[in-house]
Copies of this chain bind each other. A is one copy, B any other.
Amino acid sequence: MEAALLEPVINTVTELDSLFKPKSIAIIGASQKELSIGNVIIKNLVHYGYTGAIYPINPKMSEIRGIKAYTSIFEVEGDIDLAHVIVPAPSVPQVIEDCGKKGIKAVIINSAGFSEMGDEGIALQKKFLAIAKEYGVRIFGPNCQGIINTDPEYRAYCDFTFTFPKPGNISIVALSGGVGAFIMQSLFDLDTGMRLYASNGNACDVSISDVIRYYGDDEDTRVIILYTEGLSNPLEFMDVVKEVTKKKPVLAMKSGRTVEGAKAAASHTGALAGVDISTELIFEKIGILSFHNEEELCQVAIAFANQPIPQGNRVGIITNTGGPAVIATDELVNAGLQLPALSERAKEILHKTQLPEATIGNPIDVVATGGGIHFRSALDVLMEEDDIDSIFINFVTAPFTDTDEVARNIVEVSQMKKKPVICNFMTNMSLERFQVTSRILKDGGVPCYSFPTTAAKALGALYRYGKTRARNIGEANNFKDIDHNKAEVIMHQAVKDGKPYLSADRVYELLNAYGIPVADWWLANDIEEAMSAANGMGYPVVLKAESTEIVHKSDVGGVAINLKNAIDVAEAASRMVNVFGSKNLKFFVQKFMPGGKELIAGVSVKPGLGHLIMFGLGGVYVEVLKDVVFKIAPVTKVEAGEMLSSIKAAKLLDGVRGEKGINRDMAIEIIQRVSQLVTDFPVITEMDMNPIIALNDKLFVVDARMKIS
């Protein structure tokens, strides 16, 4: 295995070894009934060549499928590492207690009838889980498929599915057994090996995070495939998986991305529901590659299984047919790759070694009559080129070519592992001679695809992972110039008042305390004070009726803009008194700043995860174009910079049509300070700063709203 091409990992013995590397397995609820789960699991273990001891447990049978059966686990001499439990739900707590007493360390509960079935099932699940914890038994499931370990040392097929994968280095974890099974099947169909498999159903104890941590530590797992419909403990997931993605690629698909899809997910898991963007944000934050197409995910995985990660985005193409090279080029370029021109040295060699009708360039077209030596010289040249990071091959099996010779040369060069080699292999696999060619390529670890776009997507994903792995978002900044005391006093008072929305003065004081620049303002108790405040800050000003009772001020006549003198202020204030009455009414006077670019920032809360920070361009950009981006708090400086760069109209921030760009550093700092504010005060559940005006190389929050709970 080429794990060394990624980063070295240390194989640690963990408590999940009993689950994934069992030396003995009891099947509690073993059955003689063909096709029942308690029979199929035994059949699968035997069929797959499980290397350990199998103990069918059934009170009435002396043997099952020719294997000695026991009436109880206590009858089994010696230790049992792992037990399958396939008894009716109500009996499970007693069985778990027995397992604990027997010293079994891991249990797969295949039986259903727990949290997926409502209150009664939830209670039952809690009950057996408490017992398990008491005895230190790890529970996998319930209502699950199980695990598979293809390692020849174990060959533990602890599952009732019916695909028997060959050993490999791709490991799978799937919330849905149905999806897990077809991902495994897909790798099988792609003639690719698998390492470990886990589908943990209700996941009451061993979580997806636990499994991924284990895969992360498993030396022979080179790439991890994750399928989920949501995350029950996103913080744990982030903590665990961010360490794993540094070591090896995690390719993931989260479904339930549409309202209807989320509804369908809720109806079958009973637990997770609601469209949320946070799972994809988590993937992004911790460097998981996200996919929206499971076929593509599987196809891409086989490239990760064998090939090194490219150092950069420069690809060289070798082809023996025209059209497919055009198609591949389109997709490679779309994926962010470039096709550099060949060096003079390279062209010189190729002119000597290629057929006269070959095209010397990038792509290199060795033409259909090109054989092993022509492919080889092209491969060698690209391997030597400093400007090339990866090699893409279109290989159509022309009948007049020694295709095996071509394949052997591709394999030899690929096995140097200097640069990734991806092969679009276009052939008729019903012809025996091309099956042989295919075997040479696949056994040689060359990822083979049947379509140029598909192959190009695989190389694109390798490149994307290379970028992701190299990305270091750093740690969140901890600004020292913050007036914590003042902020705490304000928040304390706000919580004590018990109103959901903070008054404007508190919001602005809080922003001030956190070093977030706000437009000059004054909270005046009466009209006189408003006039003098306006005189003090200079005209024009904005006047806002201030009372926590009034939320959407501008809709009800509570805002007057562009007041040019004290008389204007007095008149506007009087009108507000007429509308709202003078009781409890104060006047928020603020410097009016026409022109400038409108930005927005905001905060929302995802239960179990924390705050999401939003940034975008204000006005029509947010309202019509929805041109905003989100990140999970705490947001680092790098991430804040990415937020600015990733809005669709990012160029507007740099200024267009001769106008000046905004002060990017200041915007990046504001995003970080907002992140720090809500991280320090989790009680803040909503915050809108709309607009933030960018004017004369400065930024000012001009209107802000904050909700606590």
Q: Is A257 an interface residue (CB 8 A)?
A: yes
Q: Is A334 an interface residue (CB 8 A)?
A: yes
Contact B178 A321, beta carbon cutoff 8 Å: yes
Choose among B229, B365, B623 the residue that contacts A267 (Cβ–Cβ < 8 A): B365
Contact B326 A229, beta carbon cutoff 8 Å: yes
Contact A264 B363, beta carbon cutoff 8 Å: yes
Q: What is the CB-to-nearest-CB distance from A232 to chain B, in angstroms, rounded to a whole number? A: 16
Closest to A296 in B: B453
Q: What is the CB-to-nearest-CB distance from A30 to chain B, in angstroms, rounded to a whole number? A: 16
Q: What is the CB-to-nearest-CB distance from A455 to chain B, in angstroms, rounded to a whole number? A: 10
Binds B, one of A179-187, A210-218, A342-350, A459-467: A179-187
Closest to A338 in B: B260
Contact B429 A189, beta carbon cutoff 8 Å: yes
Among residues 313 to 351 in chain A, which have CB atoms less than 8 Å away from a CB atom of chain B? Answer: 317, 321-327, 329-330, 332-334, 338-339
Contact A179 B652, beta carbon cutoff 8 Å: no
Q: A426-B182, A426-B185 are in contact. Are A623 and B657 (CB under 8 A)?
A: yes
Among residues 641 to 693 in chain A, which have CB atoms less than 8 Å away from a CB atom of chain B? Answer: 648-649, 651-652, 656-657
Encoded as 1 (CB less than 8 Å from any B CB) or 0, chain A from 251 to 283 comes to: 001011111110111011100000000000000
Interchain CA distance A324-B186 in the complex, whole Å? 14
Encoded as 1 (CB less than 8 Å from any B CB) or 0, chain A from 434 to 453 comes to: 00000000000000001111
Q: What is the CB-to-nearest-CB distance from A617 to chain B, in angstroms, rounded to a whole number? A: 10
Q: A189-B429, A260-B339 are in contact. Are A179 and B625 (CB under 8 A)?
A: no
Q: Is A174 an interface residue (CB 8 A)?
A: yes
Among residues 48 to 71 in chain A, which have CB atoms less than 8 Å away from a CB atom of chain B? Answer: none
Closest to A619 in B: B657
Interchain CA distance A399-B40 in the complex, whole Å? 9
Q: Is A535 an interface residue (CB 8 A)?
A: no
Candidate in A317, A324, A648 with the most chain B CB atoms within 10 angstroms? A324
Q: Is A604 an interface residue (CB 8 A)?
A: no
Q: Is A431 an interface residue (CB 8 A)?
A: yes
Contact B450 A186, beta carbon cutoff 8 Å: yes
Closest to A186 in B: B450
Choose among B35, B178, B431, B450 the residue that contacts A426 (Cβ–Cβ < 8 A): B178
Q: A326-B255, A330-B256, A359-B267 are in contact. Are A182 and B625 (CB under 8 A)?
A: no
Contact A451 B333, beta carbon cutoff 8 Å: no
Q: What is the CB-to-nearest-CB distance from A559 to chain B, in angstroms, rounded to a whole number? A: 14
Q: A182-B451, A295-B451 are in contact. Are A269 and B396 (CB under 8 A)?
A: no
Among residues 403 to 442 in chain A, which have CB atoms less than 8 Å away from a CB atom of chain B? Answer: 426-431
Q: Is A624 an interface residue (CB 8 A)?
A: yes
Closest to A339 in B: B260
Contact B174 A323, beta carbon cutoff 8 Å: yes
Contact B624 A265, beta carbon cutoff 8 Å: no
Q: Is A503 an interface residue (CB 8 A)?
A: no
Candidate in A227, A256, A453 with the most chain B CB atoms within 10 angstroms? A453
Residues of B within 8 A of A321 (CB): 176-178
Residues of B within 8 A of A295 (CB): 450-451, 453-454
Q: Is A163 an interface residue (CB 8 A)?
A: yes
Contact B623 A258, beta carbon cutoff 8 Å: no
Choose among B229, B261, B333, B365 the residue that contacts A333 (Cβ–Cβ < 8 A): B261
Among residues 517 to 559 in chain A, which have CB atoms less than 8 Å away from a CB atom of chain B? Answer: none
Closest to A330 in B: B261
Contact A189 B450, beta carbon cutoff 8 Å: yes
**Assembly of this chain: how many copies?**
2
Residues of B within 8 A of A256 (CB): 326, 330
Q: A179-B324, A258-B330, A333-B258 are in contact. Are A185 and B428 (CB under 8 A)?
A: yes
Contact A181 B426, beta carbon cutoff 8 Å: yes
Among residues 36 to 91 in chain A, which have CB atoms less than 8 Å away from a CB atom of chain B? Answer: 36, 40
Residues of B within 8 A of A181 (CB): 396, 426
Residues of B within 8 A of A255 (CB): 323, 326-327, 330
Q: Is A293 an interface residue (CB 8 A)?
A: yes
Q: What is the CB-to-nearest-CB distance from A270 to chain B, in angstroms, rounded to a whole number? A: 10
Closest to A433 in B: B162
Closest to A449 in B: B295
Closest to A434 in B: B162
Residues of B within 8 A of A121 (CB): none
Q: A162-B431, A321-B178, A450-B189 are in contact. Are A35 and B400 (CB under 8 A)?
A: yes
Contact B176 A322, beta carbon cutoff 8 Å: yes
Q: Is A13 an interface residue (CB 8 A)?
A: no
Residues of B within 8 A of A261 (CB): 326-327, 329-330, 333
Q: Is A175 an interface residue (CB 8 A)?
A: yes
Among residues 154 to 203 in chain A, which have CB atoms less than 8 Å away from a CB atom of chain B? Answer: 160, 162-163, 174-182, 185-186, 188-189
Encoded as 1 (CB less than 8 Å from any B CB) or 0, chain A from 595 to 614 comes to: 00000000000000000000
Residues of B within 8 A of A361 (CB): 267
Closest to A182 in B: B426
Contact A329 B258, beta carbon cutoff 8 Å: yes
Residues of B within 8 A of A400 (CB): 35-36
Interchain CA distance A176-B368 in the complex, whole Å? 13
Q: What is the CB-to-nearest-CB distance from A293 to chain B, in angstroms, rounded to a whole number? A: 5
Choose among B175, B292, B294, B324 the residue that contacts A182 (Cβ–Cβ < 8 A): B324
Interchain CA distance A326-B329 in the complex, whole Å? 33
Contact B327 A294, beta carbon cutoff 8 Å: yes
Q: Is A620 an interface residue (CB 8 A)?
A: yes
Residues of B within 8 A of A180 (CB): 323
Residues of B within 8 A of A229 (CB): 323, 326
Interchain CA distance A91-B452 in the complex, whole Å? 37
Excluding A260-B332, A293-B451, A624-B652, 7 further A-B contacts by CB distance (< 8 Å) are A176-B321, A185-B428, A253-B327, A261-B326, A265-B326, A620-B657, A624-B656
Closest 6 pairs (CB-CB, A-B): A176-B323, A268-B322, A178-B321, A179-B323, A261-B330, A35-B400
Residues on A lying within 8 angstroms of B by beta carbon are: 35-36, 40, 160, 162-163, 174-182, 185-186, 188-189, 227, 229, 253, 255-261, 263-265, 267-269, 292-295, 317, 321-327, 329-330, 332-334, 338-339, 359, 361, 363, 365, 394, 396, 399-400, 426-431, 450-454, 619-620, 623-625, 648-649, 651-652, 656-657
24 cross-chain CB contacts under 8 A: A35-B399, A160-B399, A175-B323, A177-B321, A179-B327, A182-B324, A188-B430, A229-B323, A229-B326, A255-B327, A258-B330, A259-B333, A261-B330, A264-B325, A268-B323, A268-B326, A268-B359, A269-B322, A294-B453, A295-B451, A295-B453, A624-B651, A625-B625, A625-B649
